[in-house]
Chains A and B, each alone.
Chain A
Amino acid sequence: MRLRQFRLVVAGDITEERADRLLWRAVDACVEAGPDGAGWVAFDRPAPTLVDAVVAGVRDLDAAGLVPDRATGDDPLVTVETVAERVGRPAEVVRGWALPPPVGPHPRRPVFDWPAVMGWLVRHEDYLVPDDDATLEAVTLALRVRTLAPRVDRLEPIRSLLYP
């Protein structure tokens, strides 16, 4: 099973109690809240497909009382170990590459911008960029429909639109 990394942006406050319930249930999740309490949950989840991983993540948030607002790509800030895991090469090998300069220089743990690194990998290591956008957008649209559902007379005719 491949590692799937993505985020679910949360609507409303991420309280300590809800984070407690989520992290007790999902040991591959990580919660990040801004000063206003809003934020996201990032996942490092092994799954057969991205959609399996994202839907399971939505269920984890549901169970914790958190409201997922949208699915989005993973945190763009990565370490050498993240890059190594994504390209399937040892971290020692990746450290030897002339990657774009880190956005967060650090003697031991520099932080890189993934889009910049990805561009470099495509040019120098024949990296194939995974096409995750359609899946993340489809889940986001499903979450929007779910939010609107209480205000819609009947959902079945709308659901039938999925099958032309």
Chain B
Amino acid sequence: MSDRSWLRLDCPVCGGWLGLPDGVPRGAAAQRAARRIDAFAHRHRACGRVTR
């Protein structure tokens, strides 16, 4: 079991991944984190599903 204290999203097809701090407070910081996730997901759309 991982003791990682941050969030990791993986592209199961190409192996690329995104790491971002966990527990980001609501508001602007959360919006910025969501944008990073959206950009990553878009980049890997051609690969397939992105998993947490």
Contacts from A to B (Cβ < 8 Å)? 16, 19-20, 23-24, 27-35, 39, 42, 44, 75, 77-79, 81-82, 85, 103-104, 106, 109, 111
CB within 8 Å of A: which of B1-52? Answer: 4-6, 11, 14-21, 24, 28-29, 31-36, 38-43, 45
- Main SS class of interface, A: mixed
Query: Contacts A19-B6, A23-B19, A23-B20; is A32 near B40 (CB within 8 Å)?
Result: yes
User: Could you tell me if A82 and B14 are in contact, using CB atoms closer than 8 angstroms?
Assistant: no
Query: Contacts A31-B18, A32-B16, A104-B38; is A20 near B4 (CB within 8 Å)?
Result: yes
* Complex-state Cα separation, A24 to B23, whole angstroms: 12
Name 26 interchain pairs, CB-CB below 8 A, sorted by A: A23-B5, A24-B5, A27-B21, A29-B20, A29-B21, A30-B33, A31-B18, A32-B16, A32-B17, A32-B18, A32-B40, A33-B17, A33-B19, A35-B11, A35-B15, A35-B16, A75-B36, A78-B35, A79-B31, A81-B32, A81-B35, A82-B32, A85-B32, A103-B42, A104-B38, A109-B34
